[in-house]
Amino acid sequence: MDNRALPTATSDLADLCLDLDVHGYCIVKDVLDQETVSAVAERLSAQAAGEREAKLDHPFPADAEGDDVNQWVYLLHNKGTVFHQLALHPTARALAAHVLGADHNLAAMDSHITYPGNKPMPLHTDQWWMPQPAMPGERHNRQGDLKRGQGPFGEPTPATRAISPPMVLNFMWMITDFSVANGGTRLVPGSHLSGVQPIGEPRQDEVQPEGAAGSALVWEGRTWHGSGVNTSNEPRLGLTTFFCAPVVRALTNMTYGTRPEVVAGLDDEMKRLLGFAPWNGYGATDEPNAEFARPAVETVGQLG
Ligand SMILES: O=C(O)CCC(=O)C(=O)O
């Protein structure tokens, strides 16, 4: 298994799962038809342009320092029902289930647009906040003390002691082609098994998979990755459906951030995915076994 060649684009689910297990990432071939890609691209581009023009876009904490070129468009499920099918897509859900288990939530659905003239997003993992396993008698890291970019740092070689499992999965939809020229995602194969965080760039061992619009690049929470430099003349549209283990707090506050008129139009599966459904009592408001948590205005207030 260790000798498995680096991932190439495929739609074979067993191969995708093996690529994730062995290399920490996989490339899903032609997962969207071109009509869907066009519809998503059109809505996303209009939204991104509107937010930039109105100065309503905000950087992400893992962006390169001082990069005011790239753009994030957050909470996409509020910005067009065309995006909902991506979160619910069977291939995305199957890979999320493979890594996280049958129960998982949508932690974020955002777009990252790399524009010409940008800075590369530094290599990072998506679960820098996960405490390291500790041996009996060894002091544990306190989860609430961990900070982004703090380490532990090291080389992307297999650890020689226990490491934490993946807790999130990033399913990055290519809404335009992804290429080296337009700032496609950079990854370090095998880094998911190292148990450490990246420091120091550039690296010789990173890869930058290319793919056609309608494909997807998928990596698990421990894999070192970051976006590239866009030296082309066109924006690169990436759209991430970011899944998390159900007990983990989502990256975006989905329940607070979903507009009431959007909540009213959601089907039950989308509501579950966004975290409106309690999971073994977690995430409930006033009724742990309710199918969906009630918003505060509907819960019982002071009585008597
Ligand atoms: O946009 C990219 O290529 C990478 C995005 C990324 O690093 C992330 O979503 O954590």
Strands of the sheet containing 216-220, edge to edge, are 25-28, 216-220, 168-174, 236-244, 105-114, 71-73
Residue 219 is assigned to a structural domain of this protein: yes
Indicate which atom in ligand 1 lies nearest the CA of residue 217. 3
pLDDT digits (tens, 9 = 90+) for 71-100: 999 999 999 999 999 999 999 999 999 999
Residue 67 is assigned to a structural domain of this protein: yes
pLDDT digits (tens, 9 = 90+) for 245-292: 999 889 999 999 999 999 999 999 999 999 999 998 889 998 889 999
Residue 208, classified by CB atoms within 10 Å of its CB into exposed (0-12), middle (13-18) or buried (19+), is middle
Distance of CA 139 from the midpoint of ligand 1 (Å): 32
Indicate which atom in ligand 1 lies nearest the CA of residue 240. 9
Please tell me the predicted confidence (pLDDT) of residue 104: 96
Work out whether strand 105-114 and strand 71-73 pair parallel, antiparallel, or are unpaired.
Answer: antiparallel
Please tell me the predicted confidence (pLDDT) of residue 136: 95
Residue 205 is assigned to a structural domain of this protein: yes
Residue to substitute in 60, 148, 172, 187 for testing ligand 1 pocket (most ligand atoms within 8 angstroms of CB): 172
Residue 132 is assigned to a structural domain of this protein: no
Q: Which carries the bigger pLDDT value, residue 303 or residue 177?
A: 177
Ligand 1, atom 8: closest residue by C-alpha: 226
- CATH code of the domain in which 81 resides: 2.60.120.620
Q: What is the mean pLDDT of the chain?
A: 95
Please tell me the predicted confidence (pLDDT) of residue 115: 98
Distance of CA 92 from the midpoint of ligand 1 (Å): 16
Query: Number of folded domains in the chain?
Result: 1
Please tell me the predicted confidence (pLDDT) of residue 252: 94
Residue 281 is assigned to a structural domain of this protein: no
Ligand 1, atom 7: closest residue by C-alpha: 226
Residue 147 is assigned to a structural domain of this protein: no
In the predicted model, what is the mean pLDDT of residues 27-32?
A: 98
Residue 243 has pLDDT above 80, yes or no: yes
Domain that holds residue 225: 13-118+161-252
pLDDT digits (tens, 9 = 90+) for 37-73: 999 999 999 999 999 999 999 899 899 999 999 999 9
Query: Who lines ligand 1 at CB under 6 A?
Result: 112, 121, 126, 170, 185, 225-227, 238, 240
The helix/strand/coil state of 208 is coil
Please tell me the predicted confidence (pLDDT) of residue 2: 67
CA angle 138, 140, 141 (to 5 degrees): 145
pLDDT digits (tens, 9 = 90+) for 182-237: 999 999 999 999 999 999 998 999 999 999 999 999 999 999 999 999 999 999 99
Residue to substitute in 174, 240, 242, 252 for testing ligand 1 pocket (most ligand atoms within 8 angstroms of CB): 240
pLDDT band at 302 (very low <50, low <70, confident <90, very high): confident
Residue 196 is assigned to a structural domain of this protein: yes
In the predicted model, what is the mean pLDDT of residues 294-298?
A: 91
Residue 1 has pLDDT above 60, yes or no: no
CA-CA distance, 74 to 259, in Å (whole number)? Answer: 13
Distance of CA 203 from the midpoint of ligand 1 (Å): 17
Residue 24 is assigned to a structural domain of this protein: yes
In the predicted model, what is the mean pLDDT of residues 103-118?
A: 97
Cis previous bond, 202, omega within 30:
yes
